[in-house]
Structure 1
């Protein structure tokens, strides 16, 4: 086969692959909404799962900035809180909606990720959480705070556990106010 024919065959394959991937995602008005429909295949012990790349990015960034100094259990616990909120009627219904909810998370959304190895580790935890890892660490917590602070809302909710430097609370069981 001549060089030109070989090159033409490779280009044809690339075009075919590109066109087939375009038809898998509905045509949307802007790139931000289209990114919400892009998925990544993740294989876990429980099977193969499709997760939103946008949810993965939002959850990974939240774990990086909120819990990068924690061990894996502390990072998993923060992921549980975010996903518990997604499932709770009082919070937004998407991971990005929860993470970007005004006044809920303290990190600067425009901050740069400087520790690539740490980010890779939290991204694995985020993938597992989004793929359906059991949420058994926080006993249904929907709130948490770092050890060095004591928000006023802590008196209203049931404390479930302390993991690393974070304390976790469940909002569905209000404490008696005597």
Structure 2
């Protein structure tokens, strides 16, 4: 099979663009996520999804991630859970962490990966912004922490 130099340049350019998409998807392939460690994925979820100054809120978000990890309906890795489409903040795996909350998130991620859990979260696998309440019969609220309401679904 013979490829023209133009075709090879296009393929090379496409590969460069695809691999620079950090956390994005191209033609169904995820780029960037494989470069992140489980700790980095967890700390990013905690950083972007909670009040960055609240260790309690970060611990609660980390507990939700681990609760999902232990459920066969969710991906089998922390990065898979955090990177699941429409589940966590947009850009959670690619945005820059720009303040001191990243240090706290790293510390809290270490604790969660070592087995720490927020007892108030219980078995909750879901949360949304605090101050909102939905009257659905299949939701049981268990905790408010770090600017979020945590709930179990029946």
TM-score by length of 1: 0.60
User: Alignment partner for residue 161 of structure 1, among 126, 130, 143?
Assistant: 143
Q: Which sections of structure 1, spanning at least 5 residues, go unmatched?
A: 1-30, 36-52
Greater percentage in strand: 1
Map 1:52-131 onto structure 2 (within 5 A).
54-109=37-92, 110-115=94-99, 117-131=100-114
Deviation, structure 1 residue 156: 2.0
Q: Structure 2 length normalisation: TM-score?
A: 0.69
Q: Deviations over 1:12-44 (max 9, x none)?
A: xxxxxxxxxxxxxxxxxxx976x6xxxxxxxxx
Mapped to 2, the partners of 1:86 and 1:59 lie a distance apart of: 11
Q: Superposition RMSD on alpha carbons, in Å? A: 2.3
Distance in 1, matches of 2:64 and 2:74, equals: 11
1:68 shift after superposition: 3.8
- Note if 1:137 corresponds to 2:109: no
Q: Against the structure 1 CA distance between its residues 112 and 151, is the aligned structure 2 distance closer, same or farther, given a 3 Å change threshold?
A: farther
What is the total number of aligned residue pairs between the two structures? 122
* Per-residue CA distance 1:113-135 (angstroms, 9 max, x = gap): 111x2101111001110011144
User: Which portions of structure 1, spanning 4 or more consecutive aligned residues, are displaced by more than 4 angstroms?
Assistant: 148-152
Give the Cα separation in 2 of the matches to 1:126 and 1:59.
6
Indicate how the Cα distance of structure 1 residues 159 and 70 shifts in structure 2: closer, same or farther if over 3 A, else same. farther
Structure with greater contact order relative to length (CA < 8 Å, sep ≥ 6): 2
Runs of 5+ in structure 2 lacking a partner? 1-31
Quote the offset at 1:147 in angstroms: 1.6
Higher helix share: 1
SS in 2 for 1:161: strand
- Match runs of 1:13-52 below 5 Å: none
